[in-house]
Amino acid sequence: MIILLATYNGERYISEQIVSLLSQSYQDFKIFISDDRSTDNTFSIINDYANKHPGKIIAKQNDTNTGSAKLNFLRMMVEYKDDYVMLCDQDDIWLPDKVEKSLNKIKAMEEEFGKGTPVLVHTDLTVVDENLNIIASSYAKMSNKDFSLTTLNFAVTMNNVAGCTAIYNRALAELIQEVPGFFVMHDWWLSLTAAVFGKIGSLNEPAVLYRQHGENEKGAKKVLSPKYMFYVLSNLKTMRAMIEDSYKQAGMFVEIYRDIVNEEKLGLLSAYASIPGLPVFKRLGTVIKYKTFMNGFARKAIQIFILKTSFKKRDWIYKI
């Protein structure tokens, strides 16, 4: 088993994270660290750990900065394969039994569905501030995530899987063979692949202290709070861009995997990706036909509102 850890200017928290990995109850794994040309002491710190734990921790630095954590991660996911792969953020802390429980769950799913079935398992998180004070005991509840929604019609619209909680098997790893020309986030691309070709399972308990601080690339939001609702209503352009990106991502997925996706799922992906190019009166009908509604009242309402407005002409609009 391997753990893929992506780093960039993480000197403040990286030691705590590595110590939490080295303190896991299950230890039969290697840690591969890809540093994205940090300008602080991050690479020096991880090199020290690699020297102290030869063969256990393997650290390298990219030739050039990729520009994002998602690209750093996905490049690692393409390069490194093993029977089981876990993804790890630089600024969190893993609870001591995270690896053990995740491994037990994915092995149980492989027994149920077959070892050749692509399987992805993820957990909940405890949201904490930079000093590890608890903000929310459950990220799923805080962000109104329903881990039981694992089918493609849901996975194509939004992502339920936090990459830092994920473990996936070799069958799924082997499907990640290239970095797509466009993807929203590495963990969403992974969960979309699992929804198309295999199974997604979850442990409905926190296994990670998910640290929130000023440098977070993505953060946790209380989506049921009045503050979040105000944010959504005052940032419709941002929400619109997120939904448009989901269409573009679906179209890219079809381009890459068209020859191996079954007819039913290919039809759903193609129809969803083509929504921006449809006449307004056909968009909602397509969503209803394929049941590609987002989860949660607020998200559905915004989705329907955006479906009824005009999309700008873009080169990426997918056509069936």
Query: pLDDT digit string (tens) for 45-80?
Result: 999 999 999 999 999 999 999 999 999 999 999 999
Lowest mean pLDDT among 63-67, 85-89, 175-179, 225-229: 225-229
Question: Which of 195, 196, 208, 185 is CA-nearest to residue 77?
Answer: 185
**Same structural domain for residues 203 and 255?**
no
Would the pLDDT of 184 be above 80?
yes
Boundary-marking domain end, from 176, 211, 246: 211
**Same structural domain for residues 176 and 242?**
no
As a whole number of angstroms, the distance between CA 34 and CA 57 comes to: 11
**Same structural domain for residues 189 and 103?**
yes
* Phi and psi based region of residue 205 (left: phi greater than 0; alpha: psi -120 to 50; beta: remaining): beta
Which pLDDT does position 298 carry in this prediction? Answer: 81
Q: What are the residues whose beta carbons fall under 8 Å from the beta carbon of 270, sequence distance 6 or more?
A: 254, 318, 320
What are the φ/ψ torsions at residue 284 (nearest 5 degrees)?
Answer: -65, -35
Which pLDDT does position 239 carry in this prediction? Answer: 84
- b/e 61-93 (16+ beta carbons within 10 angstroms → b): bbeeebeebbbbbbbbbeebebebbbbbbbbbb
CA distance readout (Å), 262 to 198, 200, 258, 265: 12, 18, 8, 6
For the residues 286-315, what does the mean pLDDT come to?
84
21: CATH:
3.90.550.10
312 is a domain residue: no
E strands, the chain, where?
2-7, 30-35, 57-61, 84-88, 93-94, 119-128, 134-136, 167-169, 199-211
pLDDT digits (tens, 9 = 90+) for 221-237: 555 555 555 666 666 78
Would the pLDDT of 285 be above 80?
yes
Boundary-marking domain end, from 211, 234, 258: 211
**Same structural domain for residues 185 and 95?**
yes
Lowest mean pLDDT among 164-178, 213-227, 278-292: 213-227
pLDDT digits (tens, 9 = 90+) for 105-120: 999 999 999 999 999 9
pLDDT digits (tens, 9 = 90+) for 186-214: 999 999 999 999 999 999 999 999 999 86
Residue corresponding to tokens 């573009």: 248
Provide the residue range defining the domain that includes 256.
226-307
Look over the chain and give the mean of its residue pLDDT values, rounded to a whole number. Answer: 92
Q: What are the residues whose beta carbons fall under 8 Å from the beta carbon of 109, sequence distance 6 or more?
A: 117, 119, 121, 199, 201
For the residues 242-254, what does the mean pLDDT come to?
96
**Same structural domain for residues 205 and 277?**
no
**Same structural domain for residues 129 and 256?**
no
316 is a domain residue: no
Contact yes or no for 208/134 (Cβ under 8 A): no
Instruction: State the pTM of this model.
Output: 0.92
218 is a domain residue: no
**Same structural domain for residues 192 and 289?**
no
221 is a domain residue: no
**Same structural domain for residues 45 and 182?**
yes
318 is a domain residue: no
**Same structural domain for residues 204 and 298?**
no
Contact yes or no for 83/166 (Cβ under 8 A): no
Boundary-marking domain end, from 186, 211, 236: 211
**Same structural domain for residues 149 and 69?**
yes
**pLDDT band (50, 70, 90) for residue 217:** very low
Would the pLDDT of 35 be above 60?
yes
**What total of structural domains would you count in the chain?**
2
